[in-house]
Amino acid sequence: MLFGRLLHRLGDAACAAQAAAGRLIHRFGDSACADQAVAGRLIHRFGDSACADQAPGVAPPTPGRYPAGVTRTLPTLRTADFDFALPEALVAQAPARPRDAARLLHVAGGTLADLGVRDLPGLLRAGDLLVANDTRVIPARLRARRGAAKLEIMLNRDEGGGIWQALVKNARRLRAGDTVEVEGAPGLVVRVVDRTEDGTVRFDFGADPAALAVALEAAGEVPLPPYIARPDGPLPEDRADYQTLFAERPGAVAAPTASLHFTPELLAAVRARGVGLVNVTLHVGAGTFLPLRGDDPRALKLHAEWGEVSAAAAAAINATRAAGGRVVALGTTALRLLESCVDAAGVVHAFSGTTDIFLLPGHVFRSADVLLTNFHLPKSTLFMLVSAFAGVERMRAAYSHAIAGGYRFYSFGDASLLERAP
């Protein structure tokens, strides 16, 4: 047992959270909490099907289906059941410095342990395997004009050939064939291809990806989440702060935030424990900032994101499981991608394409055993995901404990290490 860590029974943690002096904490699922949630929050959204473009020659898995012999009654779900009151002061506006100085809540079995991210190596075992998302955040927010009309463009997904899908403020001003001028990139010619049924706009930035990359570096802004307040625009340090140690492949407009806690020193300590590492890629899209609508989560159809799991990564994951090691997903993006390409027998397949998988309570997880993740928004698909992975009641108690204990929430906040529920 790690020296000095505090262990709480889940029942005690839930009571302690609600008894904290001077703090009003509502029970989860109380719709009256909605008016106390952080003003203007925009909530991560994901889809509910996967493997749209399965790699050739690989039989597509069936995400959300149960393995042979396993039956489970799907619970009745309401979006309001995943609501909770969060003091605005707990929304982190900057990362811990150094990054691995953040706190870590270990959620395992019937206990909660208050630790630090630097304790992570001691919670891992020789033979475990970390799975990191190596996507790199691009400066995806552009200011533009169509005549006198001002536009804000948030790039979402590269469709190839210079075509990008984007979310646009003031999109009603745009028509197919229009050209727009990007502020700060006068040489960039951008043409509107069309407006899609889901409200996004497709732009043609030209066939030269290098020219677009240069223009984005010159004119683009770091696409920080809206709950990180920057009234005067992004800070100089935001570009580095909102990029992970594993970032290699440009294409994301939101960071895989669990990996923001890693430093070279922490990664070296993890490797010294005999823990392996493989990278996968999921380019997190602008849909991550869209509000969650409707009270039936299963009725949602959300934005797809492009991802890839190489044959080598899939083989390493399968070999780890076969040898008795644990697969540790670094963040919900890595976990969603793995669940998109695992079959009913628990075998992870090579994958390249888009996924909009939506992981809800009742889902049977087959690809990972442990999840490192930050603390998520009320009523968000990501809080639904962690509840599915670690257990609804367990996560209710863990989040109550975290709020009472002053843990910092969201992208620049603290971390939790979740053991998969039986």
Closest by Cα among 387, 416, 417 to 28:
387
Report the CATH superfamily, name and number, of domain 6-137+243-419: QueA-like (3.40.1780.10)
Residue listed under structure tokens 């055993």: 369
Q: What is the 3-state secondary structure (H, E, C) of 6-56?
A: EEEEHHHHHHHHHHCCCCCCCCCCCHHHHHHCCCCCCCCCCCCECCCCCCC
Distance between CA atoms of residues 1 and 231, nearest Å: 45
Q: List the pLDDT tens digit at each of the 422 positions of the chain.
A: 333 333 333 333 333 333 333 332 333 333 333 333 333 322 222 222 233 333 333 444 444 333 333 445 667 899 999 999 999 999 999 999 999 999 999 999 889 999 999 999 999 999 999 999 999 999 999 999 998 899 999 999 999 999 999 999 989 889 999 999 999 998 898 999 999 877 899 999 998 989 999 999 999 999 999 899 999 888 999 999 999 999 999 999 999 999 999 999 999 999 999 999 999 999 998 766 666 778 888 888 768 899 999 999 999 999 999 999 999 999 999 999 999 999 999 999 999 999 999 999 999 999 999 999 999 999 998 999 999 999 999 999 999 999 999 999 999 999 999 999 98
Q: What is the CA radius of gyration of the chain?
A: 21
Tokens of 105: 């809540």
330 in Cβ contact with 372 (< 8 Å): yes
pTM of the model: 0.82
235 in Cβ contact with 216 (< 8 Å): no
Predicted local distance difference test score (pLDDT) of residue 173:
84
Indicate the domain borders of the chain. 6-137+243-419, 141-220
Residue listed under structure tokens 């863990």: 398
Predicted local distance difference test score (pLDDT) of residue 36:
31
What dotted CATH number matches 141-220? 2.40.10.240
Fold match, 6-137+243-419 / 141-220? no
Predicted local distance difference test score (pLDDT) of residue 176:
95
